[in-house]
Amino acid sequence: MINTHDITGLVLAGGLGTRMGNSDKGMLPLHGQPLARHVLQRLAPQVGQLAISANAHAEDYATFGLPVWPDLLPGQLGPLAGLHSGMRHARTPYLLTVPCDSPLLPPDLAVRLAAGLSENDADLAIAVTEEMDPTTGSSVRRPHPVFCLVKTSALPQLEAYLAAGERRMRTWHGPLKLAEVLFQEHGAFGNVNTPDELAALQAQGLSVPMAQAILADAVAPVADLEQLALPQALERILASDIISPISVPAHDNSAMDGYALHGADLGGNAPVTLAVVDTILAGRPGTVPVQRGQCARIMTGAVMPDGCDSVVPQELVRQSSEHGITLAPDCIRPGDNRRFKGEDLMQGQPALLQGKILGPAELGLLASLGIATVPVRRRLRVAFFSTGDELRSIGEALEPGCIYDSNRYTLLGMLTRLGCEVLDMGIVKDNPQALETALRGACAQADVIITSGGVSSGAADFTREILARLGDVAFWQINMRPGRPMAFGNIASDGHSALLLGLPGNPVAVMAAYYFLARPTLLRLMGADTQTASPLLLQVAAQDPIRKKRGRTEYQRGIVERDPDGSQHVRLTGAQGSGILHSMTQANCIIVLHAEQGHVAAGDLVDIVLLRGLI
Ligand code: AMP
Ligand code: MG
């Protein structure tokens, strides 16, 4: 088995991009991000280290914060030179190369190539796909030699091949053992060679993990802190690490009401009789030395007398009088029922790390350390409004064709629970002036602006134009359902700037986009650690089959229940339309069906997120 950590993932970006008008392919924008970034995001979870092989525009590639390795060989040798440089630079036993323009590469590329390499005891493994030969109608194997996992120890072979003037990627391995690993997903190895191919890729939409990664990278925690007394700090986010100023407990102490004794007095086959020389209460340490052959009556939490290392619970004592006790052989083992000094927290050790949400246990822990106030991040100010001429506020009459604005209330609920300072800016009509005024007003007052509606392709035109004027906002088509359209970027007005999250209009889409895209972003801005920021996925068996389209992430409303036998299953709430808000009220979880998944069979395990867990 090859460990992920033993693989360096190398994105090959050293080419000239001649068919793209000599532009650097890795830097071409896809969904507002450089193509190479998409590839890195896909590769990152699969390998231990990442690096980029680039020659021109090395400064651009350096902005990814990863090592950039130029070719070590003169002349434009293409991918082989990148492979060569990678094998020279990599500090791991394996190198995985992928081209910078293949953003759809399989999410399990590394594991499958690694399995093929190990099973065949090979030196390198490359991906192959099977394709129909249009003339003969028979299937042919198409190798993808640039998608290559290789032992870095194969470097001498590559150097000998290059020294002989050879240049072909297909045959460099010579006598080394090659494993070809068959992949079914043809499209995954497609790369971008022409502007049309880039446009086609753009039209395919943005994957949820990539959207999440872009959002996560785009924001940093607010800098301002507040020092709060513990009772006020509940649900706030800790802004710096807390180091234990004391050890908890401060002394070895008893875990039981009983008698503290020397463990060395136990043992043997005969009953043991010990003289009781002291009584020690919690908060009142003993005053008399306890010698061998003696013991002290002791209460739970009371400090252990010097030399004593065990406590016999009073109910295990065979006979007791004021002066002595008798213990049966083997009634306890030496060391039993003693709590050690610092076993909860040792002085000088980190007790809580920044980024933690302060819940009841954290408040208690801080109190156990005697800490009265803690630094927390300031609250995030979030302005939100709904867009749409058809929307009416509750209390208003509903004219024909109109609907009540529900999104503002779900957003209000979700944002308030998250601990944001909310600014409800009402309904904004579908007209450019109204939208611009609202956005400028929100910008002046908030860190983040969340809108709903008006970002779907039909509706987006004037929104797009205004947002372009106010800042840098990308319009995404995300491969998710519900919640496909979304706008994201920064806008500025009168010296104030704000992050803009333009959510879709349909009520369930708003909630899905909020929980899986906006909420992690807000939590990051609030200073929460990564674990807190991403929803916790649990696995439960599906009660019935679920229809699911491969290639997009689907969020279905589910009800998870316990069977009489104690096992759990999840079932759908019923109709799953993105406008059916009552499905969210029936659900106690969201079923997360990932892009690579197809139909779910009854009994299959599916990922769920408990709605209660989403605060
Ligand atoms: P849009 O993205 O603006 O085209 O809206 C998509 C759908 O969501 C339309 O059917 C809208 O009427 C509906 N919608 C938009 N905003 C809201 C809202 N605040 N409350 C309820 N439904 C809405
Ligand atoms: Mg609308």
pLDDT, one tens digit per residue, over 378-416 is 999 999 999 999 999 999 999 999 999 999 999 999 999
Q: Is the CB of 430 under 6 A from ligand 1?
A: no
Query: 496 pLDDT exceeds 80?
Result: yes
Query: 460 pLDDT exceeds 80?
Result: no
CA pair distance 587, 512, nearest whole angstrom: 13
**Mean pLDDT, to the nearest integer, of 194-219?**
91
Closest by CA to 207, choosing from 514, 555, 476, 557, is 476
**Least confident range of 28-42, 219-233, 506-520:** 28-42
- Protein residues near ligand 2, an ion, with CB under 5 A: 388, 453-454, 459, 505
| Single-letter residue type at 11 | V
What is the pLDDT at residue 186? 81
* 71, 52, 188, 115: CA torsion to nearest 10: 90
Confidence band, pLDDT 50/70/90 cuts, at residue 141: very high
DSSP 330-387: TSS-TTTTEEPTTSSB-TTSEEE-TT-B--HHHHHHHHHTT--EEEEEPPPEEEEEEE
- The Å distance, Cα 390 to ligand 2 centre, comes to 8
- The Å distance, Cα 483 to ligand 2 centre, comes to 14
Q: Three-state DSSP class for 542?
A: strand
> Who's near 330: CB < 8 A, 6+ residues apart?
none
Ligand 1 pocket test: pick from 393, 429, 452 the residue with the most ligand atoms within 8 Å of its Cβ.
452
Closest by CA to 557, choosing from 604, 615, 507, is 507
- The Å distance, Cα 485 to ligand 1 centre, comes to 12
What is the pLDDT at residue 15? 78
- The Å distance, Cα 579 to ligand 1 centre, comes to 8
Please state the three-class secondary structure of 100-119 as a single string. Answer: CCCCCCCCCHHHHHHHHHHH
Confidence band, pLDDT 50/70/90 cuts, at residue 615: low
**Mean pLDDT, to the nearest integer, of 212-218?**
91
Ligand 1 pocket test: pick from 396, 407, 457 the residue with the most ligand atoms within 8 Å of its Cβ.
407
Q: Which ligand is nearest to the CA of 411?
A: 1
- The Å distance, Cα 441 to ligand 1 centre, comes to 22
Q: Is the CB of 82 under 6 A from ligand 1?
A: no
Question: What is the H or E stretch that residue 196 is in?
Answer: helix 195-203
Q: Report residue 58 as tokens.
A: 């090395």
- The Å distance, Cα 364 to ligand 2 centre, comes to 47
Q: Report residue 407 as tokens.
A: 């999104």
**Mean pLDDT, to the nearest integer, of 184-203?**
89
CA pair distance 542, 283, nearest whole angstrom: 54
Burial 374-388 (b: 16+ CB within 10 A, else e): bbbbbbbbbbbbbbb
Closest by CA to 103, choosing from 21, 34, 150, 1, is 34
Q: Sort strands 605-610 and 538-542 into parallel, antiparallel or unpaired.
A: antiparallel
Q: Is the CB of 504 under 6 A from ligand 1?
A: yes
What is the pLDDT at residue 76? 74
Which ligand 1 atom minimizes the distance to the CA of 456? Answer: 2
Task: Report helix angle 208-218 to 35-43, nearest 10.
Answer: 100
Query: 592 pLDDT exceeds 90?
Result: yes
